[in-house]
Amino acid sequence: MKVLSSLIPPILAATCCAIATDAAKVSAFHPLQLSLGQLVNQQEFDLIREDFLNALSQDGLFTIRDIPDLHKQSVLEAMQPCINKAKATQEHTLRDGTRRRTLATHTSPGGRTAEGIRKPSVPSDDQVHCQGFVDASERFRAAAGVATNAFASRLASVLRTVEDGRPADAEAGDRRRRRPLLATRDGHAFEDFLDVVKNGDHLEHFHSYHTPVSPSSSSNFGKTTDDTIEWHVDQGLFIVFTPGTLVREDPSSAAGSTIQGLTDGFYVRLSDGSTVEVEFSNEDDLVILLGDGFNQYINPHYQDTDAPLLRAAPHALSMIPHQADESRVWYGRMVLPPVMAIHPVHDETFGRLRDMVVDKDTPEDEVIAVACSSSAQARELQTTTCEAGTLLCWHDCMSLEEHGVSEDICTQQGLDLWCINPRGQLWDNTHGDFFPGCIDASKAENATEFPRLPNYPRDNVTACTAETFQRFLQDNQESAYDHSVDLDGVAVFEWTVLENNVIRGRLAYDGLFGYLALGIPSVGGGKNGMHGAEIIMAIPGGNYDAAVGFDLTIPPSINEYVIDPEKSSFRFWDTPVSIGTNVSESSARNTMGDGYAIAYDDCFTAITFESTGFHGKPFNVSGSDHFIWAANDEDYFAAYHTQRGHIYVNWLSGEASDHHDHDHADDGGHEEEEPTTVEPPVSAPVASSSFVATTTGANAFAFGLILLLLIHL
């Protein structure tokens, strides 16, 4: 049902473009075709590696076939009846009079619905026309996701190879330490292209184009004013799409429409400057087309390596005349960088840049500066705002109904509708736990940092040193552990395998006690298994309230919890799932209870366990286990981690590591890390206004910059 989200996500495909000047001779172009197997299997890939790189550097596009379970035709057939009737459909008239109707959705990092977005209910009248589409599209979108990741994984592995080949002195002599491709403000690294794609925003649109029959719409390519969509390159990393397909309404068919075949009218400009019309094949395939992100931050990142310059492909669409009962249907998945990642040039998060681009108040030259790599000089901008019933909050259009508020409800209370956090503060474009709520905006303050722990900052010069950490470890154990592993230099995990599959273990953290948690990630759970994870967590107080944090007059406790399957914030899962050990007042500073215990002082924190598993989930004592852990040493709100990591333990061999030894070159099963404990939802606002800006300056060619709203081909 996600497709029919009332939170129509977004839109913003800002595009930058050079307007075609000469379209005299147009020849047919057949893009490189690869099978998914050729992309994924190393040996098969080695045979076509050169072709692959040539296609990306010369053309900027190629196609992937043999994608299991794609069946794109069944989705394209089923979408027309739904798009005609669904309330969620957005409509836009393009420059040549073509009417484009759109259903939008998105896939968020970890493949789950983003935080704050519940599964929308499909209005009953939509259900009749859309059920077939919804069913078919779920499967199709998953298959498109597989192809997206396969491409990202392959390109990441190719780029890694060239990066590792760079001169040894380029990165402080350590060839293995690569500079992350992108990072967040608080230092979380998106290591490589795959990491960026997997944690990026995937905006998905189903478009249906219908051009009213008129004399002027006949064969008009080259007269740029008549192109349906002008020449441009897409914003973002790349787009995955189905070649435009003509469908005819057909009430007698089960799907409601029948496929008439591929449509012409899609043009690209190749690296030799030639303009060609793309002839796609009749395979059940998807097209990958690179976007302006390659110009802006991918190519520059690899400039000191042997990596080829990869090419954002300029393209345009000119609708081919069709019958009144026919439409051109299309699916596209635009892959944008993670919302919280920082743009290396603009020093702003991609989420913030996106907000700026869609904000009508942003001066035009600023929009051009942030949106595009080229020195483009004119633009046509269609900005976006949130549709009725939603509010722009944390880079997303959040549903008011789901948060139990509306403009009216707030007005009745003499308050304003605003994007706020649990502490009654206003959203300040940073990340955190924000949602639509009623507040007196004139009195409310912007979001501030959390109040600190009473003993923060710790004395890390004399009291809290490496030596005293060792002493803390010694003093707080009954007997030594058999095995131990250092975790990123900030924590230690130690264990002994006892009889009957019991593990005696300890996670000791070189930091103050804000909280400390250790758990087993949930297979397939969002945020790489954090959502739905079964964990033990030590908290420094009680009576948790997201507005005021823990009541520190209540003694600490350690309990089992299950993290909410969709929502990261502690307030959504702060009830323990089993009674653990409450730490009594008298021994609050060092308690060994049954099962779980906490030890802490004004420098360090440790949790211990003696158990066969967490929350009934047994340790894999005859093999190995993967744990995630997180800690906060600053505040008592359990809203963020200040440290987190992974632990991979082989109980049998007694070996462990804080990173997975993996060759993520060709399996697509790359182990990425969760970006942050609290992460913004992905998606931006929906269309509302548009304007055309003036052209300044004179170039030999008329360069134009178009910021177009929907992804469009």
Ligand X SMILES: *[C@@H]1O[C@H](CO)[C@@H](O)[C@H](O)[C@H]1NC(C)=O
Which residues make up the interface to ligand X (CB under 6 A)? 428-429, 445-446, 457, 460, 542, 579, 582, 620, 623-624
- Please classify residue 285 by burial: count the beta carbons closer than 10 Å to its beta carbon, then call 0-12 exposed, 13-18 middle and 19+ buried: buried
Which residue, 454 or 623, is less far from ligand X as judged by CB? 623
Residue 461 CB, shortest distance to ligand X, in Å, is 7
Closest CA to 67 of 141, 146, 136: 146
Closest CA to 89 of 4, 187, 209, 164: 4
Which residue, 267 or 427, is less far from ligand X as judged by CB? 427
Give the C-alpha separation, 234 to 239, whole Å.
Answer: 8
Residue 383 CB, shortest distance to ligand X, in Å, is 18
Residue 459 CB, shortest distance to ligand X, in Å, is 8
Helices (H), 204-293: 293
Which residue, 125 or 445, is less far from ligand X as judged by CB? 445
Q: How many other C-beta atoms are found inside a 10 Å radius of the C-beta of residue 594?
A: 9
- The residue length of the chain stands at 713
Q: How far is CA 49 from CA 55, 154, 301, 439, in A?
A: 10, 10, 21, 57
Residue 628 CB, shortest distance to ligand X, in Å, is 14
Which residue, 281 or 446, is less far from ligand X as judged by CB? 446
Residue 302 CB, shortest distance to ligand X, in Å, is 32
Which residue, 118 or 617, is less far from ligand X as judged by CB? 617
Which residue, 68 or 623, is less far from ligand X as judged by CB? 623
Extract the tokens encoding 685. Answer: 């606002």
Which residue, 385 or 582, is less far from ligand X as judged by CB? 582
Give the strand pairing for 397-399 and 390-392.
antiparallel
Give the C-alpha separation, 512 to 635, whole Å.
Answer: 9
CA angle 140, 293, 433 (to 5 degrees): 70
Which residue, 266 or 515, is less far from ligand X as judged by CB? 515
Give the C-alpha separation, 493 to 516, whole Å.
Answer: 13
Closest CA to 269 of 224, 334, 306, 300: 224
Which residue, 131 or 620, is less far from ligand X as judged by CB? 620
Question: For residues 668 and 572, is the Cβ–Cβ distance under 8 A?
Answer: no
Which residue, 262 or 552, is less far from ligand X as judged by CB? 552
Q: How far is CA 670 from CA 53, 156, 194, 662, 664, in A?
A: 21, 10, 8, 8, 5
Q: How far is CA 520 from CA 111, 530, 536, 563, 625, in A?
A: 19, 8, 9, 10, 8
Which residue, 45 or 614, is less far from ligand X as judged by CB? 614
Q: Which long-range contacts (CB under 8 A, 24 or more apart) does 341-347 make?
A: 341/182, 341/183, 341/184, 341/190, 341/196, 341/199, 342/182, 342/183, 342/184, 342/185, 343/296, 343/297, 343/370, 344/182, 344/297, 344/300, 344/301, 345/296, 345/297, 346/370
Which residue, 560 or 666, is less far from ligand X as judged by CB? 560
Give the C-alpha separation, 485 to 709, whole Å.
Answer: 50
Residue 429 CB, shortest distance to ligand X, in Å, is 6
In the bound state, the residue with its beta carbon closest to ligand X is 623
Residue 445 CB, shortest distance to ligand X, in Å, is 6
Which residue, 96 or 355, is less far from ligand X as judged by CB? 355
Q: Which helix (H) or strand (E) holds 83?
A: helix 72-85
Extract the tokens encoding 634. Answer: 């600053």
Residue 454 CB, shortest distance to ligand X, in Å, is 15
Residue 456 CB, shortest distance to ligand X, in Å, is 8
Residue 460 CB, shortest distance to ligand X, in Å, is 4
- Helix, strand or coil, per DSSP, at residue 435: strand
Residue-wise DSSP of 105-131: EEE-GGGSPPTT-PPPPPPHHHHHHHH
Sign of the C-alpha dihedral computed for residues 78, 234, 288 and 61 taken in this order: positive
Which residue, 161 or 582, is less far from ligand X as judged by CB? 582
Residue 631 CB, shortest distance to ligand X, in Å, is 14
